[in-house]
Amino acid sequence: MATERTLVLVKPDGVQRGLVGAVLARLEQRGLKLIGLKLLRMDDALARRHYAEHVDKPFFPGLRDFITSGPLVAAVFEGANAVQLTRNAMGATHPLDAAPGSIRGDFGVDLGRNVIHGSDSPASGERESALFFAPEELLDWTRDTERWIYE
Ligand code: IDP
Ligand code: MG
C-alpha cells in the first residue's frame, strides 16, 4: 500500500468557531498519522498558489478574502490512502450535500464556509504540503500504535 500525504486546513471559519480540535480529532482518531501542524494566516500570494486551479473562477475573490481573513490551522496527515480517507471524512464540498457524520455534514451549512480543506489527490497532497511546510517541519516519526491500525 502506498503511503500518501494530505494537506488539511481548518479554514478561518473553523478556527473562529473553535472547531480546530474537533476537526483534527476526527482524522487523528480515524488512524491517520499527524506529521506537521501549524497556525498561520495565508496571504494573497499563498492563496493564489494553493488555489491555483480556481484563480480564474468567479468565486475566487470571495474565497481569497475568506481564506486570508484570519488564522487557519494547517496540518499534514500521512498514511495509506490518506487522501481518500480524508476526503470521505470531510464530506461533499457543499455542506448541504455532505453526509451527516462527515465534518462538513456536521459542522457546516454554507458552501463558502465549509470548515475544512483536504487535498484532492496524492500529487496535490505533495504539492500543497510543500506550500505550507518546509521539509524539516514534516516529521519522520515512529508511531507505536501502528500495528493496531494496519494489519
Ligand atoms: P473542495 O474544497 O471540496 O476540494 P473545490 O471545488 O476545490 O472544493 O473548491 C475549493 C473551495 O472553494 C471550496 O471548499 C469552497 O470553499 C470554495 N468554493 C468552491 N466552489 C465555490 C462556489 O461556487 N462559490 C463559492 N465558493 C466556492
Ligand atoms: Mg479542492
CB atoms inside a 10 Å sphere around CB 3: 11
Q: Mark whether 117 is an active-site residue.
A: yes
Contacts of 21 by beta carbon, 8 Å cutoff, 6+ apart: none
DSSP tag of 8 = E
* Grid coordinates given for 58: 468567479
Question: Which pLDDT score, from 0 to 100, does residue 1 have?
Answer: 62
Nearest CA to ligand 1 atom 27: 112
Among candidates 111, 122, 118, 109, which has minimal Cα distance to 87? 118
Residue among 63, 67, 109, 127 to mutate when testing ligand 1 (max atoms within 8 A of CB): 63
Which pairing describes strands 33-40 and 3-10: parallel, antiparallel, or unpaired? unpaired
Alpha-carbon gap, residue 32 to 3, rounded angstroms: 11
Which parts of the chain have pLDDT scores under 50? none
Q: Which residues sit with their C-beta closer than 6 Å to ligand 1? A: 54, 59, 62-63, 93, 111-112, 114, 117, 120
Query: Which residue(s) pair with 8 in the sheet?
Result: 75, 118
Nearest CA to ligand 1 atom 26: 112
Question: Which pLDDT score, from 0 to 100, does residue 2 have?
Answer: 82
Q: Residue 43 C-alpha to ligand 2 middle, in angstroms? A: 18
Among candidates 121, 68, 115, which has minimal Cα distance to 95? 115
Ligand nearest to the CA of 61: 1
The residue to which cell 476526527 is assigned: 26
